[in-house]
Amino acid sequence: MSAKVFDNILETIGDTPLVKINRLFPDVKATIYAKVEYFNPGHSIKDRIGIKMIEDAENAGLLKPGGTIIECTSGNTGMGIALASIVKGYNCIFTTNDKQSKEKLDLLRALGAEVVVCPTDVSPEDSRSYYSVAEKLNNEIPNSYWCNQYDNLSNREAHYLSTGPEIWEQTEGRITHFVVPVGTGGTISGTAKYLKERNQDVKIWGIDSYGSIFKKYKETGIFDKNEIFPYLLEGVGEDIIPENVEFDLIDLFEKVSDKDAAIMARKLARVEGILAGYSSGSAMQGIEQLKDQLKEGDIVVAILHDHGSRYINKVYNDDWMTDRGFLQRGKKVRHIIEAKSNTELIKVTPDELLKNVLNKITETGISQMPVFQNGTLLGSIHENDILMYVMGDESKLQNSVDKVMQDPFPIVEYDRDVSEVVKLLSRKNPAIMTRDRSGQYHIVTTYDLVKNLND
């Protein structure tokens, strides 16, 4: 029987191609290959660990016929588990967080899985986190098994047995650097263990996200909660230390920003014809940032975890990219000013009564105003500042603006790109100021920018 004929879809997992990167790094003399994991049937590297965790659980008597498999996943591991479950006859419930792409969730549901979406911006210990919800479901549902890819060592064992040997054989043992975006740690640790057993000099580079704890923990041994904050990259970085991460096998971590990873993923598609996922962009960007450490003769292999089709409404969507300041539409601040039907600047002075300012806000529908005195910008005032100040004592409306005045809105150049201005806006800072060529002040609010995006 031909090796291209299989008894079921699970037999097609693995043996993914190594593809040379030819034009993405024109100034790098090293040879760079991508291990393109979207050739797996579930279009991601996680197919490898899905079947491994299930079969190990079966062999240990932890998973019985007709049981329910539970897993916390960013989508890809769920896909691998779902495929294996269909073939083996299990039910699936997946918990995930609300930053994952809609495409991933729809794919899981298309395979018959139940998907529970949990908030991203909570600690792992929070009862609402996708870790905690998965554990709770496992405790409540009879004949269920929680894979727990973060701490399940079958995860890294899968890569020790498959990914590592494949790369070693494909490079004929000449690999010098292995580059991997790190999430659960299974891919990097299992593969690194195999590679370093054959050549201790192979460099293992882990890619981390800003908002994740891996890099600092590797360098200092300190778990610093101050490093943790929300970010957009999917499947890269963590706010916990998974048991699958073997830090001793990893030579360094390099942090990559959400923006740089997204732009690089799009560049990879357009320059090399490889339509890969968001984390794949971070792998390529990591090489870009570390390229000075590479030399002629080096053989670099980077993992491309999944397919770009799962990010069509995110990384590969111009509106999503522009909304986050990752792309420029070409518009400048002056274009927003010129598009306004009324460019008259509504402003107040420090000695104006709050009562009069509140009336002005009501009449104009403008919720924030700059504060000027004798032509000089002194500060800003927002309707929320007034309301909080007078709450419970309306007599304070007789006080003057300087009692609640905040810092001035930032002043930006008239020809500055809109995508850069977006970064300056926040709840605390809902507007910016600019001056036209005649020296006249103008205000641009969050509403103005939103309207601009829809024009």
Q: Which residues lie closer than 8 Å to 365 by C-beta, 6 or more apart?
A: none
Answer yes or no: are the C-beta atoms of 231 and 212 closer than 8 Å.
Answer: yes
Of the listed 20, 35, 46, 52, which one is catalytic? 46
Q: What are phi and psi of 113, to 5 degrees?
A: -85, 150
Burial class (CB in 10 A: 0-12, 13-18, 19+), 431: buried
Task: Note if 423 is an active site residue.
Answer: no
Select from 415, 451, 453 the least CA-distant residue to 317: 453
Burial class (CB in 10 A: 0-12, 13-18, 19+), 180: buried
Answer yes or no: are the C-beta atoms of 306 and 73 closer than 8 Å.
Answer: no
Residues marked active site are found at 46
